[in-house]
Chains A and B, each alone.
Chain A
Amino acid sequence: MQTLTINGQDYQVDAPESMPLLWAIRDLIGLTGTKFGCGVAQCGACSIMIDGTVVRSCSTMVSQAIGKNITTIEGTSASLEALRQAWRNNSVPQCGYCQSGQLISAAELLDTNNNPTDEDIDNAMSGNICRCGTYVRIKKAIKEAVELKKQV
Chain B
Amino acid sequence: MKRRDFVKILGLASGGLLFGCNVSADKVVVNTLENGISFVPNLFIQLQKDGKLTIVVARSEMGQGIRTSMASAIAEDLEADWKYVTVQQATGDSKFGNQNTDGSRSIRTLLKPMRKMGAMARTILEQAAAKKWNIPVSNCKAENHFVKNSTTGEEIFFGDLVEEAKTIAIPSDENIILKDKKEFKYIGKKVIRGIDMEDFLHGKANYGLDARLPNMKFASIARSPVTFGSVKSYDTSDTNEIEGVEQVVQLDRLIPPAGQFFGMLGGVAVIANNTWSAFQGKNNLNIEWESGLNETYNSEKFKEKLIGRIQNKAKVVPPFKGNVDKAFDNADKVIEATYTMPHLVHAPMEVPNALAWVRDGKCDVWAPVQDPQTVRAEIAHFFGFAIEDITINVMMLGGAFGRKSKSDFVVEAVALSQKIKAPVQVVWTREDDIQHSFYHAQNAQYLKGSLDKKGKVTGWLHRVAFPQLLLALSLCQIILLVLS
Contact = CB atoms under 8 A, between A and B. Distances in A.
A142 interface: no
B246 interface: no
B210 interface: yes
Given A35-B398, A94-B65, A96-B205, A88 B276 contact: no
Contacts, number: 120
B46 interface: no
Interface in B342-396: 347-351, 396
Given A20-B276, A27-B275, A131-B348, A99 B430 contact: no
A27 B280 contact: no
A18 interface: yes
A78 interface: no
Given A72-B203, A73-B203, A88-B201, A39 B279 contact: yes
A99 B199 CA distance: 11
Q: Would you call the interface of chain A mostly helix, strand, loop, or mixed?
A: loop
Contacts of A23: 274-276
A18 B397 contact: no
B244 A16 contact: yes
Contacts of B210: 32
B200 A96 contact: yes
Interface stretch (B163-171, B176-184, B189-197, B441-449): B189-197
- Say which size band chain B's interface belongs to: 35 or more
A148 to B, nearest CB: 14
A88 B203 contact: no
B351 to A, nearest CB: 7
B62 interface: yes
Contact of A97 (B65, B218, B350): B350
Main secondary structure of the interface of B (DSSP, over half): loop
A37 B277 contact: no
B174 to A, nearest CB: 38
Interface string B393-435: 0001111110000000000000000000000000101100000
A66 interface: no
Contacts of A137: none
Interface in A3-26: 16-20, 22-23, 26
A152 B203 CA distance: 24
Nearest to A19: B276
A37 B275 CA distance: 13
Interface string B208-229: 0110100000100000000000
B194 A36 contact: no
A74 interface: yes
A30 B205 CA distance: 14
B203 A97 contact: no
Interface string A73-86: 11000000000100
B276 A33 contact: no
Contacts of A17: 243
Given A19-B274, A96-B63, 12 more contacts: A23-B276, A26-B275, A27-B275, A33-B203, A72-B203, A84-B202, A87-B197, A91-B197, A94-B63, A94-B65, A95-B400, A129-B349
Interface of A: 16-20, 22-23, 26-28, 30-40, 43, 45, 72-74, 84, 87-88, 91, 93-100, 103, 129-132
Interface of B: 61-65, 190, 193-194, 196-197, 199-207, 209-210, 212, 218, 242-244, 274-277, 279-280, 347-351, 396-401, 427, 429-430
